[in-house]
Structure 1
Amino acid sequence: MHRSASILKSVARLKRLSFQLIAMAEGSTNTNSNHVPKEETVTAGIIIIGDEILKGHTQDTNSTFMCKKLRSLGVKVQRISVLPDDVDVIASEIASFSSRFTHVLTSGGIGPTHDDVTFEAVARAFGESVFPHPELVSLVKKFFGKSNMQCPEMKLAHIPESSQLNYGVDKRTGSLLKYPLINVRNVYIFPGIPLLMERALEGLDHLFRNERTQFVSKEIFVNADEASIASVLNQVNGAFKKHVSLGSYPDWVNNYYRVKLTLDSDSEQHLLQAYHFLMEKLPRDITVPFVSNPVSIAAQEVYKLAQTRTELGHKVSAGLQTIEEALGKFKLSEICVGFNGGKDCTALLHLSCAAVQRKYPGGMEKLQALYIRIVSPFPEMEQFIQDTAKRYNLKIFTVHGNIRQALVDLKGQQPELKAVLMGTRRTDPYSRTLTPLCMTDPGWPQYMRVNPLLVGSYFVKCLLLQSLPFLFYLFIYFPLYTSLGSMDNTLKNPALRYVNHIGLECYKPAYLLENEDDERTSR
């Protein structure tokens, strides 16, 4: 038995020596967390650990957060690996990454169960064993109330022999985080739970900060097909690729631009040179301004549009006045916006958001929305509604059936609601006598109907979406449809159909519909 133990120790020493020789051969001497690399570029490799990621059971968001955070700290991420819960596989990748990159960040595989093997794998990568660290043993006893060294939770206290403990600061509260981040040499072992990983990385970002490098970037949005600008992109890449990274990302569903171009560099001078070169080479008038978060500036942009001395400006102003009147009569908790993913209610939602931002500039409760779900809705519509709810921070009430039954159900589920903002137009059926604020008809559940878009028309809604084109709305309207029902009763609008110069059947964008009466001929 003593001979076997001696052999195992010799093997461990050989592994350590092998790792050090490999590291030296590849120009890395990262043997502790305080090592400062001689080269200017500070690099990182990220290892995401978990069978659940590879099987598609869980979506990895940790690597995205890590990449963004590290880049803001001047660290260049060069590789991401996603590995199964296999000790040998993880150990091999850690040894490889540790010798190649300044920092290695792992995420996942820390816990009390059989598939939590990251500590063991890191130890094996460096020819070490795991042991019960006294400080972590005390933490486990205190946190879990367990004193038995054989309990599953105690696995969290068994870490590699040369581990260092790093206590971060919770930047929300200013207090120390309760559990330390463990590192072995240049390998930092983060938890897999996104909330815990993000807190740990935020609280210990000084471990990775590289003051010598600051990455800069620019985005250019192009309203043209990627193929049409490929030759220009090749010229830019050929001229600046040594110092500037050029990215080209088509977006097939955006209603405003077709391609997003990115320029990234660690030199502002080189970035600006590449940017000006690119802008000179691109055809005129194909770049467009784009606002990635239009919700945050809704009040600013919408009220600016309302002040313009145009027909559209007057109608937007009238709509805002109707919404403001409703906000004066009812609490925000008593109002909801009718929203089903359509173009009219998307415009209405944005106008409502603008009016609420103006009334409550210091913050507000969640804006409430009513979604009356039909049978067989377009999958794109369902996804758009979910995305919009996140974008506008909506609290959505979903009810089913025809509008009358839906309002009956809504009254039972949300009795505090008193008013519904609707995208009704004067030209809609049974709407010619409506006023901006009017109660529902006798025999219906009693709600105040708020109609800010009565003064509008189909053209005005589309013009509104063109005048504020950074709004996100259901993209299938633009190429094919002018009005959506269910998948079963909605067709491409024949009024938009035309045959192009080579004889192919095509459809004009919906906002080019010439006769407003043809809007619903696709249903």
Structure 2
Amino acid sequence: MQPLSTSGIIFGTNSKNYLKIIRQIRSTFPRNQTAGIIIIGDEILKAQVKDTNSQFICNLLYKCGVRVKKISVISDNVDEVANEIREFSGKYTHVITSGGIGPTHDDVTYEGLGKAFGSPLHYHPKLVDIVKNKFGVESASSPGFKLAYIPKEASLHFGKNEETGRPLTYPCVTLKNVFVFPGSPNFLKGSFGSLCEKLFRTSKHFFSTQLYLNAREEVFANALTSVSKEFPDVTFGSYPDFSHSYYKARVTIESDNELEAQKARDKFCSLIPNNILVDYDQSPLENVVQKFERFVEKQKERRIYEDCLNKIESIYQAADKVAIYFDSNAESIVLTHLAFIASKRIQRNSSKIELLYCPQGKISSAEEKFLKQIVETYAVSLVFLKESPQEAIQNLPLTRPDLNIILFGAKSEEEKKEVFKESEELPRDIKMESPLMGWTSTNVWTFLTSLSLSYCSASDKR
């Protein structure tokens, strides 16, 4: 492979020859492009910082048609950096490094890069200008000038801010097929995110499909072995997950040939028991309105679901005055999802759905994990009520004077009385609405499972 540049050319977003040069660079790459990622930093090896950069890089490279073959995490050691870069450079089309380019003593990536290819370091004029005028470093003896001290044969690639369209302050430094990016996730995302398609995009696309199986791996292992031999250009993966509510294993099928991937999928499905395949939606919140409409079209009791959503949609016209009494059971999850659908239908994305959570004793680790998942998935506001349900609602006029309606997941008057005693009166101006009144447990679980909604197994009362 030819080096990217040996003349120190600066590639900026305003360069007239930028795209032409990038096309010339790409023409030297093989059709099946690969990448190796080197994460540099003792803080990663000591578990002081979690590596999120490699996942971000892999995701974007995959979309560009580049297959990542190896990820290495190494220490802040010049020789180790040099050796790893040299080895990766000879094996993969692209080498992406992250970390080790700051002003401190342990930032040795540029030194290791220069040593890997026998390129002496020098103060690059453009980077010196950036350090002085953009970073405000005056003294030449300042550690900040280490950011300008790079291999003499290296080139600069400036990404751009996606919001402003202006060039980023600091570039990606490149030597041969090695691209050096920062270790800070914020800077890495900005720089790599803006440069990835320009530097690494290919004409290749990966086609991937996933199957969800309610069976242990030994049930379908022979079938997986058989299809992997029959389709050598298709990649298969099997990932057990006994903590999931809907399935016990996930199988991935991937190829750069869509037809081959589909053939491999069909053959695998023909070799396994049909009853272990699970119709699972890994993104239940995407296109929720359309998915709800498709769901009710298949139901004999479609009216009960439609009437419930229409009622909730009417209530959420004044979303700031509504909250859902949430106790992690299936009914409260159904209410939360229906409220989310209603918000999408009336296009009220600015108002967060509010959940009132009253723990019944100590919260288990499973329920704590589930609550966190609900908050992250639906972007809801979760309010913990310290008192009993009765006391908490009696005190709401003081803590939430603007709250008028609380949605409660009772399906019958008997269920309502389990939480709220019949003799107790609600505070003035607060109404307790039960949109699921008249639903059966079958209705609830049909809704949950058909739409692949997460639920807390600890609260599963089926």
TM-score of the aligned structures, taking structure 1 as reference length: 0.77
Partner in structure 1 of residue 449 of structure 2: 466
Partner in structure 2 of residue 61 of structure 1: 52
Please, which of 425, 444, 454 is the counterpart of residue 441 of structure 1? Answer: 425
Q: Equivalent residue of 2:134, what SS? A: helix
For structure 1, the 5+ residue unaligned runs are: 1-27, 483-510, 512-523
1:61 CA displacement: 1.6
Partner in structure 2 of residue 360 of structure 1: 347
Q: Equivalent residue of 1:428, what SS? A: helix
The 3 A distance-change label for structure 1 pair 55 and 200 is same
The 3 A distance-change label for structure 1 pair 322 and 108 is same
The 3 A distance-change label for structure 1 pair 38 and 250 is same
The 3 A distance-change label for structure 1 pair 419 and 389 is same
> Counterparts of 1:397 and 1:130 in 2: how far apart (Å)?
57
Partner in structure 2 of residue 48 of structure 1: 39
Please, which of 367, 372, 375 is the counterpart of residue 358 of structure 2? Answer: 372
The 3 A distance-change label for structure 1 pair 366 and 464 is same
> Counterparts of 2:425 and 2:394 in 1: how far apart (Å)?
13
The 3 A distance-change label for structure 1 pair 112 and 406 is farther
> Counterparts of 1:45 and 1:171 in 2: how far apart (Å)?
26
Is 1:156 aligned to residue 147 of structure 2? Answer: yes
* Deviation by residue 1:178-231 (Cα, 9 ceiling, x = unmatched): 221111221111112223212222321244435343222222222322211111
Residue identity matched to 1:106: T
What does 1:448-459 correspond to in 2, within 5 Å?
448-459=431-442
1:446 CA displacement: 5.6
Q: Equivalent residue of 1:294, what SS? A: coil
Q: Equivalent residue of 1:122, what SS? A: helix
Partner in structure 2 of residue 475 of structure 1: 457
> Counterparts of 1:116 and 1:341 in 2: how far apart (Å)?
48
The 3 A distance-change label for structure 1 pair 69 and 38 is closer
Is 1:334 aligned to residue 325 of structure 2? Answer: no
Q: Equivalent residue of 1:463, what SS? A: helix
* Deviation by residue 1:130-162 (Cα, 9 ceiling, x = unmatched): 332221122122223231222333322222222
1:115 CA displacement: 2.8
> Counterparts of 2:332 and 2:369 in 1: how far apart (Å)?
16
Q: Equivalent residue of 1:430, what SS? A: helix
Partner in structure 2 of residue 269 of structure 1: 259
Q: Which deviates further from its counterpart, 28-37 or 46-55?
A: 28-37
Partner in structure 1 of residue 336 of structure 2: 349
Larger Rg: 1
Q: Equivalent residue of 1:472, what SS? A: coil
Residue identity matched to 2:152: E
1:429 CA displacement: 5.0
The 3 A distance-change label for structure 1 pair 432 and 133 is closer
* Deviation by residue 1:343-370 (Cα, 9 ceiling, x = unmatched): 2211111111111111117x44332323
For structure 2, the 5+ residue unaligned runs are: 6-21
The 3 A distance-change label for structure 1 pair 85 and 374 is farther
The 3 A distance-change label for structure 1 pair 401 and 54 is farther
The 3 A distance-change label for structure 1 pair 405 and 109 is farther
1:169 CA displacement: 2.8
1:260 CA displacement: 1.7
> Counterparts of 2:70 and 2:295 in 1: how far apart (Å)?
46
1:79 CA displacement: 0.6
1:70 CA displacement: 0.9
The 8 Å contact of residues 237 and 252 in structure 2, kept in 1 or not, is answered as: yes
Q: Equivalent residue of 2:179, what SS? A: strand
1:376 CA displacement: 2.2
Residue identity matched to 1:447: I
1:81 CA displacement: 0.4
> Counterparts of 2:405 and 2:106 in 1: how far apart (Å)?
53
The 3 A distance-change label for structure 1 pair 449 and 113 is farther
> Counterparts of 1:432 and 1:117 in 2: how far apart (Å)?
63
Residue identity matched to 1:461: V
The 3 A distance-change label for structure 1 pair 452 and 179 is same
* Deviation by residue 1:289-339 (Cα, 9 ceiling, x = unmatched): 32221112322233444466634x3332342233123123x2x23323233
Partner in structure 1 of residue 9 of structure 2: none
The 8 Å contact of residues 372 and 401 in structure 1, kept in 2 or not, is answered as: yes
> Counterparts of 1:286 and 1:45 in 2: how far apart (Å)?
37
> Counterparts of 2:228 and 2:403 in 1: how far apart (Å)?
57
Partner in structure 1 of residue 374 of structure 2: 388
Please, which of 310, 314, 323 is the counterpart of residue 321 of structure 1? Answer: 310
Please, which of 77, 86, 94 is the counterpart of residue 77 of structure 2? Answer: 86
The 8 Å contact of residues 325 and 332 in structure 2, kept in 1 or not, is answered as: yes
Partner in structure 2 of residue 493 of structure 1: none
What does 1:50-129 correspond to in 2, within 5 Å?
50-129=41-120
The 8 Å contact of residues 389 and 420 in structure 2, kept in 1 or not, is answered as: no
The 8 Å contact of residues 302 and 351 in structure 1, kept in 2 or not, is answered as: no
Partner in structure 2 of residue 295 of structure 1: 285
The 3 A distance-change label for structure 1 pair 296 and 270 is closer
> Counterparts of 1:342 and 1:391 in 2: how far apart (Å)?
17
* Deviation by residue 1:112-145 (Cα, 9 ceiling, x = unmatched): 2333222222222223343322211221222232
Q: Equivalent residue of 1:192, what SS? A: coil
Higher relative contact order, chain-length normalized (CA < 8 Å, sep 6+): 2
> Counterparts of 1:412 and 1:303 in 2: how far apart (Å)?
40
Residue identity matched to 2:264: A
The 3 A distance-change label for structure 1 pair 372 and 132 is farther
Q: Equivalent residue of 1:420, what SS? A: strand
Q: Equivalent residue of 2:417, what SS? A: coil
1:250 CA displacement: 1.9
The 8 Å contact of residues 44 and 76 in structure 1, kept in 2 or not, is answered as: yes
The 8 Å contact of residues 253 and 475 in structure 1, kept in 2 or not, is answered as: no
The 8 Å contact of residues 30 and 98 in structure 1, kept in 2 or not, is answered as: no
The 8 Å contact of residues 30 and 93 in structure 2, kept in 1 or not, is answered as: no
1:404 CA displacement: 4.3
The 8 Å contact of residues 338 and 369 in structure 1, kept in 2 or not, is answered as: yes
The 8 Å contact of residues 94 and 125 in structure 1, kept in 2 or not, is answered as: yes
1:373 CA displacement: 3.9
Partner in structure 2 of residue 147 of structure 1: 138
> Counterparts of 2:295 and 2:67 in 1: how far apart (Å)?
42
The 8 Å contact of residues 112 and 153 in structure 1, kept in 2 or not, is answered as: yes
> Counterparts of 1:410 and 1:49 in 2: how far apart (Å)?
52
> Counterparts of 1:178 and 1:399 in 2: how far apart (Å)?
48
The 8 Å contact of residues 67 and 77 in structure 1, kept in 2 or not, is answered as: yes
The 8 Å contact of residues 166 and 182 in structure 1, kept in 2 or not, is answered as: yes
